Structure 1
Amino acid sequence: MRYCRYILAVILAIMVFSVFTQPAAAAEPTETAASDAKPAADAEEEKTEEEKKKEAYEKELQAVYQLPVQSNELEDWAQGPGTYGDAAIVMEAGSGAVLYAKNIDAKEYPASITKVLTALLAYEYGDMNSNVVITKEALSCLGSGYASIGMKEGNSIYMRQAMHAMLLASSNEVAYAVGETVAAGQGQSYDWFISQMNEKVKELGGVNSHFINTNGVHDENHYTCARDMALIGKELFAYPEFFETCRTQQYKIDGSATTEEHVFQQKHEMLIANNSEYYEKAVGGKTGYTTEAQNTLITMAEDGNLRLVCVVFKTYGGHVYSDTRALLEYGFQNFQKVSVLENEADKRMKNIPKDAYVCLPEGITFEMLDKEIEKIDGSSEAKITYLYQDMPVGTVTAEVEDVFASNQTVRVAAKTSEESGKNSGSGSSQWMRTFAATLAACIVLVIVMMTVLSVRRERKRLEARRKRRKN
């Protein structure tokens, strides 16, 4: 009973404290206060145009920040940060896993990050020692405000110099000339290069892109999406020269018989040493901006374990670098590689590469993954994409037996705990929930038992006291 009295005293003290600390009801305004208050409409009229614009901008900024992040809606997935842009993605390049997704398939204008696709095709089809000649057509793309290094018709530079001018200085005329030169090397026209841009994106698995130029000069029919740009960035990891070019701090094109000297600097601030936005894990990327696209940015980074591609679209204000940094750190800090060979229990899958892996956050185990198996025409192999609630977390190529009938693609659902003969793993959130519920039940049981024992002891004490009084 003594313990019960203590508990009751504490509860009463808390109740009294809460009553006396409640905020007082707002007093009705006095006549004087009411007369001094200005009508809201008048106060609104007194705001300057600049203040109104700022207020509207802040509202728009907050609305964009609060747009849904689809990856955060996945059950038990690592929660990622908001961004001040319409769309964003983080993809792990080695596995193709999507770690973060915000409107990743929505149509967006890429602006100058278009040039990373132009670079990809130049590395695939071009010769870095070939001559790139600036034509009249190349100069025709230069509208007001578009980036240029001031090349003139007839200027000639090497392709490797052109790649620096395109990726560092974002030269639009050079990007156009790169497309012309690569196409000519294949016996084709500039239009062929554009068609190859679109074909390449589809080949990589792109879902919503349509490119009509090599440089990102704005056109309503020139668009892409975050997922497609991340797939392009993923592919560029096969070309180390791309990253060597991207990390160059300053580059000079020496003067020649046809061309004057040009010197230009790195523009991607996360790649500039000693810049306040410098990010030590960043290894490549490209900036972009037009009035219609706002800020766009693609950034590749690695930490010795994971290789990430981050793309942000239509980012407002000065948030393009801070958003990118936050997203990359989210990826590095919350995800790890999980071996496919060591965890795949499906005996129909043969010759799984030793280095194949999926990328998962803590709490998600391999047994929770579905897989989509797509037959590769003319081959005994298939492309296997692992999915967590439709989010791709890794892709591997292996032989698969007795799966395909008439369908070219087969979906295999994850086994339940009962089917696999075990729970979802030591890191499973289901296990944690079960453990927590059991622990809570044990605590309640202990409290009940202690209370019963206390009551019994109190009864025995009172009984002993009554006996002593009788005696």
Structure 2
Amino acid sequence: MKKTGKLLAVFLTVFILTGTIAEAADTKEDAPVDMTATGIVLTDAEREGKTAEEIYALEAANEETATQNAYNMAISSNGLTGWPQGPATYGEAAIVMEAESGAILYAKNIDGKGYPASITKVLTALIALENGGLNDKITITQSCIDFLEYGDAHIGMTTGEEITLNDALHALLLASANEVAYAIGDNTGEGYEWFINQMNARAKELGALNSNFVNTNGLNDENHYTTARDMALITRELYTKHEEFKTISQTLQYTIPPTNLQPESRIFQQKHKMFYESNEYYYPYVTAGKTGYTEQAMNTLVTCADDGNMKLICVVLKTHGRNVYTDTKALLEYGFANFHKVNVKENEKSKDFKEIDSNSYVVLPESVTFADLKPEIITESSQAKTGIVNYSYEGNTLGSANVTFSQAYLKKNAPQVEVKETKKTTEKGISLPTWVKWLAIGVVVVFFLLFLWFCFALYVRKKRKEQRKKRQKRRRRRR
């Protein structure tokens, strides 16, 4: 009995340890880095007793160290087997996503929490376009202006002014006007609070699960944060579903005509430098984007590019120094140079699918084949005749396809129908009612327990007999 107990304990221990080891093996080594927890600017306590020159020197030293640390951060995608090695960047997070397939080509701390700054306005534009019309009236209220502080981007709107949503979106995406961002939320749908709730709900629907937004402009708040992956997913929806994003982004200069309260026009320019041919950061494939900067967020940037073959989305967060454009260009060139589309229908050999969307594709490097990918079927129910197949490589998403299932697949995955027991005689014998079977099982269990009790009783009886013999021997010796 004791040996059996010990063996059972050993078995359970091995089982538990095996599960723990397997769980640990599934955990990624490169855990997300929280970018909101570090800062370059000294706190008031750190500044106390120091001269301006000393403070400047300390902040410069902090920045130099942080810049180098950012450059040395691990690039997750470089750890994929046979994957093209992507460039190091001076940002603490970066992602390159193929817009139409959702394939992730480059990943560096893409789930790390960071402050978005004004790239928040990409989501603001998405909610506005999904819930409003370009000719809708946007009225500037006092609330749209009261929160502004010195240095915040704006275009000088005043209380009571009225513009169209089209004008407001140009001011939002080109000039990054913060009072206009507030006005868009205030005038769209059911008001500002409703708009913020929509921003968060819509983000979750798109798969942006690690973000939280508390305003429409991106001005710093510790409860207003996102990740590189989340911003890429949000940008993807705006970029692929709303042509207005590209149209506005490619407008290098825009004029808001005189309003009901302002007799003069307002003129402003696109702030994203990669659009200008005369600029050193010009990149010919750029088609849309949004800039961002606050002291806490540092440089953030969303850039969309199209080389005629692939459409890429690049998001960089918390970029140190003046590297936000050079990093973005390097990442986009890495994507265009190392990856290509592979049609799913032409390569999928599974007999589970009757039809496959002919326009669906995955994005692969030369060193990875379609056969290397892991498919995952997503359906609404086990009886659904259509579904989606997601393809991944070592846990990295590379595309998906809409499919219609074959009869063989539907039959194989059909829910099992419970067959009622009957008393009909078959070739194999008589099929008994369920209660009879349970009664038989109960009888067997009772007899088994009785057998164990009988064995135990025999064992006890034997022990007692042995003890009596020992006592009798001791008595004889005493005599």
Q: Is the pair's TM-score, using the shorter chain for normalization, greater than 0.5?
A: yes
Alpha-carbon distance change, 381 to 273 in structure 1, aligned in 2, over 3 angstroms: same
Give the aligned residue type for 2:334.
Y
The answer to whether the aligner puts 1:394 opposite 2:412 as a matched pair is no
Q: Is the 8 A contact 1:84 1:323 kept in 2?
A: yes
Aligned mates of 2:293, 2:135 — CA distance in 1? 30
Q: Is the 8 A contact 2:124 2:181 kept in 1?
A: yes
Q: Deviations over 1:300-323 (max 9, x none)?
A: 000000000000000011000000
Q: Which residue of 1 aligns with 2:283?
A: 279
Alpha-carbon distance change, 371 to 283 in structure 1, aligned in 2, over 3 angstroms: same
Give the aligned residue type for 2:196.
I
Q: Which residue of 2 aligns with 1:233?
A: 235
Q: Which residue of 1 aligns with 2:251?
A: 248
User: What does 1:143-222 correspond to in 2, within 5 Å?
Assistant: 143-183=149-189, 188-222=190-224
Q: Is the 8 A contact 2:67 2:90 kept in 1?
A: yes
Give the aligned residue type for 1:246.
S
Q: Which residue of 1 aligns with 2:322?
A: 318
Q: Which residue of 1 aligns with 2:138?
A: 132
Q: Which residue of 2 aligns with 1:58?
A: 64
The answer to whether the aligner puts 1:385 opposite 2:387 as a matched pair is no
Q: Is the 8 A contact 2:161 2:259 kept in 1?
A: no
Q: Which residue of 2 aligns with 1:264?
A: 268
Deviation of 1:62 after TM superposition, in Å, equals 1.2
The answer to whether the aligner puts 1:348 opposite 2:352 as a matched pair is yes
Unpaired runs of 5+ in structure 2?
Answer: 1-52, 416-479
- Give the secondary structure class of the aligned counterpart of 1:342: helix
Q: Is the 8 A contact 1:266 1:272 kept in 2?
A: no
228-237 or 91-100: bigger deviation? 228-237
Aligned mates of 1:361, 1:313 — CA distance in 2? 25
Aligned mates of 1:195, 1:318 — CA distance in 2? 34
Q: Deviations over 1:167-191 (max 9, x none)?
A: 00000110111112222xxxx2211
The answer to whether the aligner puts 1:100 opposite 2:100 as a matched pair is no
Aligned mates of 1:376, 1:227 — CA distance in 2? 25
Q: Which residue of 2 aligns with 1:469?
A: none
- Give the secondary structure class of the aligned counterpart of 2:347: coil
Give the aligned residue type for 2:353.
M
Aligned mates of 1:268, 1:88 — CA distance in 2? 18
Q: Which residue of 1 aligns with 2:11?
A: none
Give the aligned residue type for 2:169.
M
Unpaired runs of 5+ in structure 1?
Answer: 1-46, 408-471
- Give the secondary structure class of the aligned counterpart of 1:347: coil
Give the aligned residue type for 2:231.
M
Aligned mates of 1:375, 1:397 — CA distance in 2? 10
Q: Is the 8 A contact 2:385 2:410 kept in 1?
A: no
**How many matched pairs?**
357
User: 2:78 pairs with 72, 84, 96, which one?
Assistant: 72
Give the aligned residue type for 2:204.
K
Q: Which residue of 2 aligns with 1:337?
A: 341
Q: Deviations over 1:91-137 (max 9, x none)?
A: 00111000000011111111100001111111111110111100112
- Give the secondary structure class of the aligned counterpart of 1:313: strand
Q: Is the 8 A contact 1:251 1:265 kept in 2?
A: yes
Aligned mates of 2:340, 2:303 — CA distance in 1? 20
- Give the secondary structure class of the aligned counterpart of 2:345: coil
Q: State the superposition RMSD in angstroms.
A: 2.0
Alpha-carbon distance change, 133 to 50 in structure 1, aligned in 2, over 3 angstroms: closer
Give the aligned residue type for 1:256.
T
- Give the secondary structure class of the aligned counterpart of 1:310: strand
Deviation of 1:56 after TM superposition, in Å, equals 4.0
Q: Which residue of 2 aligns with 1:467?
A: none
Q: Which residue of 2 aligns with 1:88?
A: 94
Q: Which residue of 2 aligns with 1:462?
A: none
Deviation of 1:399 after TM superposition, in Å, equals 2.7
User: What does 1:289-300 correspond to in 2, within 5 Å?
Assistant: 289-300=293-304
Deviation of 1:58 after TM superposition, in Å, equals 2.4
Aligned mates of 1:371, 1:297 — CA distance in 2? 32
Q: Deviations over 1:321-378 (max 9, x none)?
A: 0000000000000000011001111111232111100000011000000122222369
Q: Deviations over 1:408-453 (max 9, x none)?
A: xxxxxxxxxxxxxxxxxxxxxxxxxxxxxxxxxxxxxxxxxxxxxx
Larger radius of gyration: 2
Q: Is the 8 A contact 1:141 1:172 kept in 2?
A: no
Aligned mates of 1:404, 1:57 — CA distance in 2? 60
- Give the secondary structure class of the aligned counterpart of 2:268: strand
Q: Is the 8 A contact 2:299 2:324 kept in 1?
A: yes
User: TM-score, normalised on structure 1?
Assistant: 0.73
Alpha-carbon distance change, 48 to 308 in structure 1, aligned in 2, over 3 angstroms: same
